Structure 1
Amino acid sequence: MDNQKAVIVGISGCSSSGKTTLARLLRDIFPHTFILHEDDFYKPEEQLPIKEGLADWDCPEAISIPDMENALSHIRSTGTFPVSLLLTTTTTSTSSTSSSTTTTNTNPTSKISGRPSLSHRHNHGCHLTLTTASSSIIPPPSSDQKCSPSYPLIQPGFPLKQPISSKEDKNTIGQCPVSSAQIDAAKSKVSAWLAPNQPGALIFSRPLKVCLLDGFLLYSPDHLPTIMPLIDIKLFLLVSRAKATQRREARDGYVTLEGFWTDPPGYVDKIVWPNYAAEHAWLFENANVEDETKLDKEKMQRYGIEAQTGKGLDIDFGETLHWAVETIMHELERIVLGQQGGESESK
């Protein structure tokens, strides 16, 4: 670890595979944890590639990779967000009689490459609730709050001059697919791990933060060779084409700095799924991303990518949460304490 101040946990997979849901759950379970979204590095809409006559949000060319690299390097070395990601105050208002959304950005240009400060496209119009240890419900943040107290992007105690405003983090993302009992069980497991003289207590005895990075494309040796080494723990969520399509089409759209984006008919079939399949075929022996039995174990091990295997593609999300918690604890012990321990579950 040397002087590294934060461990970055990547959560990647196809659009609508549950990345942001998992990140929010993990943030509620682990201490000293905050979320960074790959969506916060989208280029302006007018710079997006065009595919099949449609704007392509789901390709590496849509992301400002140098900006993301700079942000991750800063987080690892300081344990804080770059100042350039702390500048935007965004308010969103939606008319009750219209499907249009107006976005007001009081500081539309960041210090990085002159691009808009935060995400151009964000989930919109769904609802996620999380439970505390006392089983009370944490309400979703309101759209006009700069940073909801119930959903702090940064936990108390982080040396930040001002809160972060990421609409991706404040927007809601659907009913929580994990029961209160499953969340409480995960919290109890981590609490025991954090008890005095236990591995978790030793890990966080130093000023260490955990950054949860969620994104549709994080693991690509061809397109992201400078990003992958900056991600310390790499989780890969599997999903079937049918389930990803069902979830994506259930969304009513995405807030953008330019207005409001709604997927045109056939967008998943023309853009989202083909891009996901093309960019992740390298991880599968037969290049078939819907055959989880053919995940290339040698490549997964070489690049340190973890996935649930032997359970099919559309896994119960409670099991996914349990697997992610176990994997993160195991990997933190390996990275910070140098303990190899046993293999993580469903590796």
Structure 2
Amino acid sequence: MTIPDDKEVILIACGGPSSSGKTTVSKALKYLIPDSVLIHLDDFYFHDSEIPIDSKTGLQNWDCPEALDFDRFVKCLYDIKYNHILPKIDSLEPDANLKLSKLEERIFQKMINQSSDKFSNKIIVMVDGFMLFHNPEIFNLFDIKLFFHANYETLKQRRESRSGYQTLDSVWVDPPHYFDNIVWPAYEQSHKYLFEQNDIGNPLKQDVIEKYNIVDINNDNGTRLFTLIELALNSILRNI
């Protein structure tokens, strides 16, 4: 699909660790914002047989950069942003099931309608992924950067409550202790530079937030979906 030349592409990163809420919020935004596009980094995984093996555990490591076809992913983003071409992607992600009340949905639709002039000459392309902030070549492509995160206990509980993940070839189910042995260390390695004292249990560094214009969205247990979408949508409306 070709994006009209008179449309400005706004590329939005919906990034953060596994189970931080980024996919749920990005799907909601896709539903709410007219003519918007949503791309999932998970659709760029290699085939199951190509996923790297972790040397310490002997398990497949689905949470490292080498598990993903970043050459194809970066080309996709470049084509969208600079060539106005939307590649066809057969997504493994299920369609959105909007978890909002009718009243909440009307509130967001009103916010968007009141800012309809901001969207008139733009196409909003959201990118959902757990590995969007580790590489400057990728990071700098985004016009708006939403970073979702939560504490260790929250992420662990959410991840371990999931039944599995659809891959290109099968369904992946986390083995016991996978979060502690693979997921959390990989998140720490790729994102610690964002946090005070390089500790992902700490708040984000204020100078990093300001330097890269990152929107800090904390999604610990108890945070309402309405609040997360409101934070994300307000950030988009302020920056387009």
AA aligned to 1:54 is L
**1:68 alignment partner, one of 66, 73, 94:** 73
Aligned residues: 233
CA contact (8 A) 2:196 2:202 kept: no
Give a deviation string over 1:218-270, Cα, whole Å, max 9, x none. 012xxx22111111110001212211122112211112222221111111111
Q: Does 1:297 align with 2:219?
A: no
> Radius of gyration: which is bigger?
1
Mapped to 1, the partners of 2:205 and 2:153 lie a distance apart of 23
CA-to-aligned-CA distance 1:253-310 (integer Å, 9 cap, x gap): 1122222211111111111111112211101122221222xx111112212211136x
Q: 1:325 maps to what in 2?
A: 233
Q: TM-score, normalised by structure 1?
A: 0.63
Residues 195-231 of structure 1 deviation map (CA, whole Å, 9 limit, x = unaligned) = xxxxxx1x3332x2111100001012xxx22111111
Higher relative contact order (CA 8 A, sep 6+): 2
Quick one: distance in 2 between partners of 1:9 and 1:217?
A: 14
The structure with the greater share of residues assigned to helix is: 2
**Residue 37 of structure 2 aligns with which residue?**
34
Unmatched 5+ stretches in structure 1? 87-163, 195-200, 333-347
After TM superposition, give the deviation of residue 22 of structure 1 in Å.
Answer: 0.4
Partner of 1:15: 18
Alignment map for 1:142-221 (pairs within 5 Å): 164-168=89-93, 170=94, 176=99, 178-194=100-116, 201=117, 203-206=118-121, 208-220=122-134
Change (3 A) 1:26 1:64: same
User: Does residue 1:268 correspond to 2:175, yes or no?
Assistant: no
Question: In the alignment, does 2:198 pair up with 1:287?
Answer: yes
Relative to the length of structure 2, the TM-score reads 0.89
Q: 1:179: Cα distance to partner?
A: 3.7
Instruction: State the 4+ residue runs in structure 1 displaced beyond 3 angstroms.
Output: 2-5
Paired residue for 1:236, among 141, 147, 151?
147
CA contact under 8 A between 2:154 and 2:220: conserved in structure 1? no
After TM superposition, give the deviation of residue 313 of structure 1 in Å. Answer: 3.7
What CA deviation, in whole Å up to 9, does each residue of 1:103-147 have, x standing for no partner?
Answer: xxxxxxxxxxxxxxxxxxxxxxxxxxxxxxxxxxxxxxxxxxxxx
Structure 1 pair 308/166, CA: closer, same or farther in 2 (3 Å)?
Answer: closer
Identity among equivalent positions (%) equals 33
In 2, Cα distance between equivalents of 1:238 and 1:38 = 17
